[in-house]
Structure 1
Amino acid sequence: MASKGEAILEVKDMCKNFGVTVALNHVNFVLKTGEVRGLIGENGSGKSTVSSIASGMQKATSGEMLYLGKPWAPASALEAQQNGICMIVQEAGTIAGIPVADNIFLGHEKLFAKGPFVNHSKMVKAAQELLDSLGIEIDASVRTERLDLQQCKLVEIAKAMYWQPKILVVDETTTALSQTGRNLLYKLMRKMADEGGSVMFISHDLDEMMEHCDAVTVLRDGNIIGSLDKEEFDGNKMKEMMVGREVSGNYYRNDNDSYEDEITLKAHCITTRKDLLCFNLELHKGEVLGIGGLSECGMHTVGKALFGYEKILDGKVTVGAKQTVVKNPETAIANGIAYTSKDRDHESLGLAGSIRDNIASTGYYFNRIFGPIISFGKEKKFVQNQIDTLELKCASQYHSVNTLSGGNKQKVVFGKWIGSEADVLILDCPTRGIDIGVKASMYQLIYKMKKQGKSIILISEELPELIGMSDRILIMKDGKIVHEAMRSENPTEHDLINYMI
């Protein structure tokens, strides 16, 4: 390994094109040993692209890389792993249907093979020892589909750390983690740097970047804008470099507008298989109802239960003046309820489809000619209207969703439901993994929908977001509401945290 402070990875004149879209434009970049270097920029700026090329997940169109002073062009992520570069990807990096241990050692089963047979017990034991050593409380023998998004991310962290990487790439991982999980990751990152390794840390949380990085490099539209050392860190300066203009101040609501007495959605003493026991909730017309707490508090289950996605064992959820019972997602959608999941890749998007396929999926009733016949022209206009409204960056409606940045994926999710004209929107971590510019537009959209009389449930692990956007905040702990705060009371983060822990 190179001496501390020396270049471990050099990117020279790198370009990457996806058809007519330029993702990287002659990028030059140096990562040094012993540092945690942040990569920041708006969605689509090229952060994940350059790091995924270094990690062997895709090829550059042109340019070159040097790793430990030698030419570097990995043929696959497995080759990169074996040579000391591991990446924790932004979205799902585990495979359902197989145990945790199999995910950790995927592609390296021969480590536990004797002849043609794999000693699975030995694999599970090794995986469990690894998880325990990292302080991750997960059973290595359990099948991955039984884990939630945070637990899957912790498995990915363990998978990366097994190889004792020289370079660890962390791509928007903290947005899927509770504070406990984040602290574990921060500790691992700092330990790596202190021991002479290097970390490339991608995040949209500037406070997080300034606290945990030694330096940051800013990208915009596929170009390197510049780099800042720790002593030069300044939030407003970083924002200006990211978006190309001065960005300062608060982008949350600054009003105290009220909401109506009419109840649009109600949970009547609902009990679910996990988390919720006789849980009650009322949502009003024109209200932004915030729900917060620690990741394990049950708030994510609330969102799924209200949409009919989580089975209700007792009690009921009703919607509208007629108090129609929400039995499943089909009933919910038919009665004007929309739901965006925290785990957008698995539960909100069809990644194999195009932007058009995804947005048009909620437009059936709007785009028919007669009976079940869909108008091609109406559908095209329906989709394009959402693309234009949300300023979605894409080559066309037929652009594959799987290739979009996190922020543009989230715009597609919003586009589906805005087009459907839903009256009740359940938004679970709607700004997870998106940049400040997209966040600001999302917040404006939420406020606009409130003014239109729509009812919104905002589930979030970010207290500033809840305080800044909600009319009323419910804090949950152990599946119960333990505190209610009104916007007019001007609650602080400190006030709310006291009820969460």
Structure 2
Amino acid sequence: MSEQGEILLEVKNMFKSFGPTIALKDVNLTIKRGQIHGLVGENGSGKSTVTSIASGLQDCDSGEMIYLGKAWNPESMIYAREQGMSMILQEANTISDVTVAENLFAGKEAEFTNLGMVSKKKMVQAADELLQNFGVEHIKGGDSINRYSFEDRKLIEICRAVTDDTQLLVVDETTTALSHIGRALIYKLINKMAAEGKAVIFISHDMDEIIEVCNILTVLRDGNIIGTLEKGEMDPKKIRYMMVGREIGEAYYRDDYDPSHSGEVVLEFKNASFNDIKNFNLKLHKGQILGLGGLSGSGMRDVGRAAFGLERLKEGTIECKGNPLEGIMSAIDNNMGYISKNRDREALIGEGSIRDNIIMPSIRGLSGKMMYLSKKASTKVAQHQIDAFSIKCNNENQYVSTLSGGNKQKVSFAKWMAKDSDIFIMDCPTRGVDIGVKQFMYQLISQMKADNKAILMISEELPELIGMCDQIIIMKDNEVSANITRDKDLKQTDIIEYII
């Protein structure tokens, strides 16, 4: 019989490199039953690398692992899951164009097969039961997964990853992609697992979340284990210092409370109706940071997508710099940039190079009269942004898919900065980035405002909206429920009643 405190997974002397970049240097890590074991570190510190190796996503160069008392070298994530170790990835990991049920039981079709035929009806019934057991009743097994949002897809991944046989669950930056309801579900799940003598490895950049959720914490920096802290030792200042090797100031957000901006309107919704939103009106001014807040499904993300021409209007108009917005190319031509929450599907080309991703919006400007794209010019532009954003990479030719989540987000910003965009639609701009990068991005956004750029910032994080925005529009049930101006005395409690 398993007991609390018994070693479940042991990593010994692990090394891993990607070309000249050393990702893990002699890493030793012990995970015990009953632990919610936090892993923190800057982007590229090695958190996801060590857990992806343990979960069968990739191999290490050297070192060994022991799981459930036996040598462990999983051949795949599917094999690891069958042996009781599951990982929920930071980015989307569902299969498009098939049903929710087919996603939940991918690789397990034999359970529903008779005489060589898969019973879709039985699979859907089993999916509905599984979803209900997790308290996810608004998602239906027979629906196409395409109809569900990024947040809902993460819930589906959680339901797929965890079974009664799961002994060790890796949660890799998953909560940043979840709504408040989804976060409550996963917190309940991981606490239940720990109470049952199982274990969770919990990766997050949210310091408050880490301290609240985890009962032990290991800090990595540049592929090294810096130290492990027990619950009573978890101090934010101490953790930040261990992460970066230097003091980080407390000031992330703007230190001014001046909500003023230019009177020039650069983006305007006029009685616009799209999806479930009707007669929506909004004005974004030059030099303004306008926040959009609310719960997942409130409609705020639909507004951002519509602003960039990604949603078809049923009625009304959207004007950019006084001209009707007529789709994505119209938005780009009007010097608008869009940073999507779902960066792997909507913002970046994973199997493209960093250079190609950065220069994509600027190709016409970089091409000469003969429409020849100069490699020298494009490399110069890309390298400038790599340096400006301190993107950790081997060179500009490295595939974006090989970058950490935070460095991918830097590329999402860099592509529009390279084009010198002056209107930015930012959906969760600091999702999945570490504390140092988050501070850098807030400083960048503040400088954008000073440079008279216009920013529509969409976020579920109230501290982010309060800390950065001149004005905050709160949405609930696809309607505006509050319009709040920047003020030094504004608190989360002043806003929450308009959200729920």
Report the Cα offset of residue 489 of structure 1. Answer: 5.7
Match of 1:29 in 2: 29
1:66 paired to 2:85: no
* Cα separation, 2, equivalents of 1:481 and 1:421: 31
Match of 2:186 in 1: 185
Give the letter for the 2:112 counterpart.
F
Q: How does 1:342-357 map to 2 (within 5 A)?
A: 342-357=341-356
Is the CA contact 1:309–1:328 (under 8 Å) kept in the aligned structure 2? yes
**Kindly, what percent of the aligned residue pairs are identical?**
50
Report the Cα offset of residue 374 of structure 1. Answer: 1.6
Q: How does 1:424-435 map to 2 (within 5 A)?
A: 424-435=423-434
Structure 1 segments, 4+ long, off by >3 Å, are: none
Match of 1:110 in 2: 110
* Cα separation, 2, equivalents of 1:15 and 1:117: 45
Match of 2:389 in 1: 390
* Cα separation, 1, equivalents of 2:37 and 2:375: 48
Q: How does 1:115-264 map to 2 (within 5 A)?
A: 115-137=115-137, 138-162=139-163, 164-257=165-258, 258-264=260-266
SS of structure 2 residue aligned to 1:156: helix
* Cα separation, 2, equivalents of 1:473 and 1:129: 40
Report the Cα offset of residue 163 of structure 1. Answer: 5.4
Give the letter for the 2:220 counterpart.
L
Tell me how large the CA RMSD over aligned residues is: 1.1
Is the CA contact 1:81–1:163 (under 8 Å) kept in the aligned structure 2? no
Match of 2:320 in 1: 319
Match of 2:458 in 1: 459
* Cα separation, 2, equivalents of 1:272 and 1:186: 34
Q: How does 1:365-376 map to 2 (within 5 A)?
A: 365-376=364-375
Give the letter for the 1:414 counterpart.
F
Report the Cα offset of residue 478 of structure 1. Answer: 1.2
Residues 420 and 162 from structure 1, CA distance in 2 versus in 1: closer, same or farther, beyond 3 angstroms?
Answer: same
Is the CA contact 2:112–2:123 (under 8 Å) kept in the aligned structure 1? yes
* Cα separation, 1, equivalents of 2:311 and 2:490: 31
Alpha-carbon deviations, 1:207-231, whole Å to 9, x = none?
0111111111001111100011111
* Cα separation, 2, equivalents of 1:222 and 1:397: 22
Give the letter for the 1:239 counterpart.
R
Is the CA contact 1:112–1:122 (under 8 Å) kept in the aligned structure 2? yes
1:8 paired to 2:8: yes
Report the Cα offset of residue 294 of structure 1. Answer: 1.0
Is the CA contact 1:168–1:200 (under 8 Å) kept in the aligned structure 2? yes
Give the letter for the 2:155 counterpart.
L
SS of structure 2 residue aligned to 1:254: coil
Match of 2:269 in 1: 267
- Any gaps of 5 or more consecutive residues in structure 2? none
Give the letter for the 1:209 counterpart.
I
* Cα separation, 2, equivalents of 1:344 and 1:372: 29
* Cα separation, 1, equivalents of 2:368 and 2:345: 32
Report the Cα offset of residue 365 of structure 1. Answer: 3.1
Report which stretch shifted further, 75-84 or 360-369. 360-369
- Any gaps of 5 or more consecutive residues in structure 1? none
Report the Cα offset of residue 371 of structure 1. Answer: 4.0
* Cα separation, 2, equivalents of 1:164 and 1:296: 32
Is the CA contact 2:357–2:415 (under 8 Å) kept in the aligned structure 1? yes
* Cα separation, 1, equivalents of 2:164 and 2:363: 48
SS of structure 1 residue aligned to 2:170: strand
Match of 1:278 in 2: 279
TM-score by length of 2: 0.98
Match of 1:331 in 2: 330
Residues 218 and 489 from structure 1, CA distance in 2 versus in 1: closer, same or farther, beyond 3 angstroms?
Answer: closer
Alpha-carbon deviations, 1:471-494, whole Å to 9, x = none?
111111111111111113631100
Report the Cα offset of residue 128 of structure 1. Answer: 1.0
* Cα separation, 2, equivalents of 1:180 and 1:285: 35
Report the Cα offset of residue 159 of structure 1. Answer: 0.4
Is the CA contact 1:267–1:281 (under 8 Å) kept in the aligned structure 2? yes
* Cα separation, 2, equivalents of 1:255 and 1:405: 32
SS of structure 1 residue aligned to 2:364: coil
* Cα separation, 1, equivalents of 2:73 and 2:164: 19
Give the letter for the 1:90 counterpart.
Q
Is the CA contact 2:343–2:409 (under 8 Å) kept in the aligned structure 1? yes
* Cα separation, 1, equivalents of 2:248 and 2:440: 13
Report the Cα offset of residue 369 of structure 1. Answer: 2.2
Alpha-carbon deviations, 1:36-84, whole Å to 9, x = none?
0010111111111111111111111110000011100000011101100
Give the letter for the 2:265 counterpart.
I
